[in-house]
Amino acid sequence: MKDSIAMYTYNFKLKILRSKKGMSRVEQVLVTDTLLYKLFPNYKELYAINYSSLLGIRNEVNLVIPVLVYSVSPTGKSKYLKQDSQPLVSIESAMAISQQSLISLMPKDIYEDVVLMKPVVIKILNLE
pLDDT, averaged across the chain: 76
Q: Among candidates 112, 107, 108, 101, which has minimal Cα distance to 68?
A: 101
- Does residue 1 fall inside a structural domain? no
Model pLDDT for residues 84-97, shown as the tens digit of each residue: 555 555 666 666 66
- Does residue 80 fall inside a structural domain? yes
pLDDT surpassing 70 at residue 100: no
Distance CA 11, CA 105 (A): 14
Range of the domain at 47: 7-124
Distances (CA, A) of 128 to 4, 7, 29, 69, 107: 15, 17, 33, 17, 41
pLDDT surpassing 80 at residue 11: yes
Please give the model's pTM, rounded to 2 decimal places: 0.71
The number of distinct structural domains making up the chain is 1
pLDDT score of 1: 42
pLDDT score of 2: 47
Model pLDDT for residues 20-53, shown as the tens digit of each residue: 888 899 999 999 889 899 989 999 999 999 999 9
Q: Where are the alpha helices (DSSP H) in 63-116?
A: 74-80, 91-103
- Does residue 2 fall inside a structural domain? no
